[in-house]
């Protein structure tokens, strides 16, 4: 493993954070976390249980009632500013911890951790800027609305952007006056546990609680009767289970799920920009990005030229460990993902798709979870690699001749997270952007990094609700109450009459 440059000490062995205290799971069990670049153990986390979730929800409920809902929004905001500063003060430790637990190149980890700090600062500033309404009513009745927190919010996150997801699903809820029980993914829990050390110092006890572990504590959190709202990011199939569990108690859910995103290159596209943008869209986080581009739709007139330039570009990218500053494409984040992506590549080949390009993993890298980039052509619309999210550096290529066909191909998916259009004609670009059934469309870029301030969320089976936005995200974590008040009718001419005894 290349040398660490921060004060990070490995192995990193974190504990659960419940009610302001670091504790082991009631099970007493722990699980190891691997560095995907060389399969060495770089830390461990408690294997939390349903009983740990129950204890954490009780602590969060108590903190909500007695320590958090009673603060003014501005006071809550100040806590979030302090968390943002604390993350920045330990930037390099967070960056390296993410790189060794998730694998991604150090620069990508840095933008992830930077966004995590920015997210706390953003929602710290937003806390006191979210208002209710007044509604015109008849005569002496006066209606106004207030935005109230749900109480305890249960948040369940995946492994692909650990610091950012940790921030997305804690900053906005607590800014709104909720308290949180967070369940990180077992594949990459260490960034959340590291952030817990800052929360433990800064926040009142129980405002954010962290229970690591697998599906069992996740399922308990999704069905817990005292949880007022669920925030979930992960696979569509798991999202369905979470929604079903929450249905029992009619608990609201916010779901950020998978994608199979189309990237349309029109005949007049700025070709080199489209080539580089497509590579960025495909290889960010080694393709383990819900917003990434797994489907390339090329106009037949430029298909050969584009593919030739694209394969030249990809051949020049460096495959290696995330800690190496030269690395462009890092290993996949864990064994589960390695097996899954390798399986899709094998099934694509077995189904008869043509391999247009397949890279190779250099001989001198350690034995990590490396999968080289693969481009498939001559695909059938029913193949798994066309319909399902692979979540790796694997892209299918389809050609079209009429723009209307490109729209139909782009929308032929159960998902609707993102899409992209490349053209020099902004009239066509904007019209096409409106026809793609997705929550986010990139026009002449595939910048799938930071979205802070812009609503992020999908259509269809890519989810419900928006994160990272101002108004829409603050709506997610608050509920509206209408207060109808009887006041004086506006019919008294003489205000002195109020002071005159009958």
* Residues of this chain that bind ligand NAD (CB under 6 A): 156-160, 183, 185-186, 214-215, 218-219, 222, 233-235, 238, 241-242, 256-259, 290, 389, 391, 417, 458, 463
In the bound state with ligand NAD, the residue whose beta carbon lies nearer, of 29 and 312, is 29
Residue 201 near residue 90 (C-beta atoms within 8 A)? no
Distance CA 183, CA 47 (A): 11
Least distance in Å: CB of 275 to ligand NAD? 24
Least distance in Å: CB of 131 to ligand NAD? 27
Q: Is 484 buried (19+), middle (13-18) or exposed (0-12) by CB count in 10 A?
A: exposed
> Phi/psi class of residue 268: alpha, beta or left (left: φ > 0; alpha: ψ in -120 to 50)?
alpha
Distance CA 110, CA 94 (A): 8
3-state helix, strand, coil in the chain (%, to 5): 40, 20, 40
Residues in the chain: 502
In the bound state with ligand NAD, the residue whose beta carbon lies nearer, of 96 and 389, is 389
CA angle 26, 211, 104 (to 5 degrees): 130
* Alpha carbon 197 to chain centroid, angstroms: 22
In the bound state with ligand NAD, the residue whose beta carbon lies nearer, of 217 and 377, is 217
Of 96, 115, 256, 476, the catalytic one is 256
Question: Is 155 annotated as catalytic?
Answer: no
In the bound state with ligand NAD, the residue whose beta carbon lies nearer, of 303 and 371, is 371
Least distance in Å: CB of 241 to ligand NAD? 4
* Alpha carbon 354 to chain centroid, angstroms: 33
Least distance in Å: CB of 411 to ligand NAD? 18
Closest to 161 in 3D by CA, of 87, 98, 88, 215: 98
Of 290, 293, 294, 476, the catalytic one is 290
In the bound state with ligand NAD, the residue whose beta carbon lies nearer, of 334 and 423, is 334
Least distance in Å: CB of 461 to ligand NAD? 10
Strand, helix or coil for residue 436? coil
Q: Strands (DSSP E) along 38-98, which ranges?
A: 41-46
Distance CA 268, CA 277 (A): 15
Strand, helix or coil for residue 171? helix
In the bound state with ligand NAD, the residue whose beta carbon lies nearer, of 130 and 461, is 461
Question: Is 115 annotated as catalytic?
Answer: no
Least distance in Å: CB of 257 to ligand NAD? 5
In the bound state with ligand NAD, the residue whose beta carbon lies nearer, of 171 and 290, is 290
Distance CA 320, CA 400 (A): 35
| SS3 readout for 230-288 | EEEECCHHHHHHHHHHHHHCCCEEEEECCCCEEEEECCCCCHHHHHHHHHHHHHHHHHC
Least distance in Å: CB of 151 to ligand NAD? 19
Q: Tell me which residue has its CB nearest to ligand NAD.
A: 218
CA angle 107, 45, 172 (to 5 degrees): 60
Catalytically active residues are: 256, 290
């Amino acid at each position: 493993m290349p040398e660490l440059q921060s004060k990070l000490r490995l192995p990193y062995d974190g504990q659960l954070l419940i009610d302001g205290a670091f504790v082991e799971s009631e099970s007493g069990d722990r699980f190891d976390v691997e560095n995907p670049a060389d399969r060495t153990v770089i830390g461990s986390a408690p294997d939390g249980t349903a009983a740990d979730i129950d204890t954490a929800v009780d602590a969060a409920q108590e903190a909500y009632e007695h320590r958090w809902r009673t603060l003014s929004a501005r006071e809550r905001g100040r806590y979030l500013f302090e968390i943002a500063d604390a993350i920045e003060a330990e930037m390099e430790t967070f960056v390296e911890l993410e790189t060794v637990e998730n694998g991604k190149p150090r620069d990508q980890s840095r933008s992830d951790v930077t966004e995590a700090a920015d997210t706390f600062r953003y929602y710290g500033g937003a806390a006191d800027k979210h208002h209710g309404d007044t509604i015109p009513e008849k005569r002496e009745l006066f209606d106004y609305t207030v935005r109230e927190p749900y109480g305890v919010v249960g948040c369940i996150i995946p492994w692909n952007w650990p610091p950012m997801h940790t921030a997305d699903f804690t900053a906005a809820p607590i800014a709104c006056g909720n308290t949180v029980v967070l369940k990180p993914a077992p594949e990459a829990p260490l960034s959340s546990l590291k952030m817990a050390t800052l929360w433990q110092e800064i926040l009142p006890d129980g405002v954010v609680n962290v229970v690591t572990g697998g599906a069992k504590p996740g399922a308990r959190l999704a069905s817990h009767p005292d949880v007022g709202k669920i925030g979930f990011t992960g696979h569509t199939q798991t999202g369905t289970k979470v929604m079903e569990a929450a249905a029992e108690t009619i608990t609201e859910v916010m779901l950020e799920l998978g994608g199979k995103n189309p990237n349309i290159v029109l005949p007049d596209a700025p070709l080199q920009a489209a080539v580089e943008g497509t590579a960025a869209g495909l290889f960010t986080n080694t393709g383990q990005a819900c917003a990434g581009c797994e489907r390339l739709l090329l106009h037949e007139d430029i298909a050969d030229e584009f593919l030739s330039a694209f394969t030249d570009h990809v051949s020049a990218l460096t495959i290696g460990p995330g800690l190496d500053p030269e690395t462009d494409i890092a290993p996949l984040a864990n064994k589960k993902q390695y097996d899954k992506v390798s399986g899709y590549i094998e099934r694509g080949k077995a189904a008869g798709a043509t391999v247009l390009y397949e890279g190779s993993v250099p001989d001198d890298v350690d034995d990590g979870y490396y999968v080289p980039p693969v481009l498939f052509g001559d695909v059938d619309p029913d193949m798994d690699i066309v319909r399902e999210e692979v979540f790796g550096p694997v892209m299918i290529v389809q050609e079209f001749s009429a723009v209307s066909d490109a729209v139909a191909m782009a929308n032929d998916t159960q998902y609707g997270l993102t899409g992209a259009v490349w053209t020099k004609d902004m009239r066509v670009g904007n019209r096409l952007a409106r026809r793609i059934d997705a929550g986010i469309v990139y026009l002449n870029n595939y910048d799938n990094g930071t979205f802070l301030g812009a609503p992020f969320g999908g259509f269809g089976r890519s989810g419900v609700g928006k994160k990272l936005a101002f108004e829409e995200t603050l709506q997610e974590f608050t509920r509206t109450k209408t207060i109808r008040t009887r006041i004086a009718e506006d019919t008294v001419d003489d205000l002195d009459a109020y002071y005159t005894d009958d």
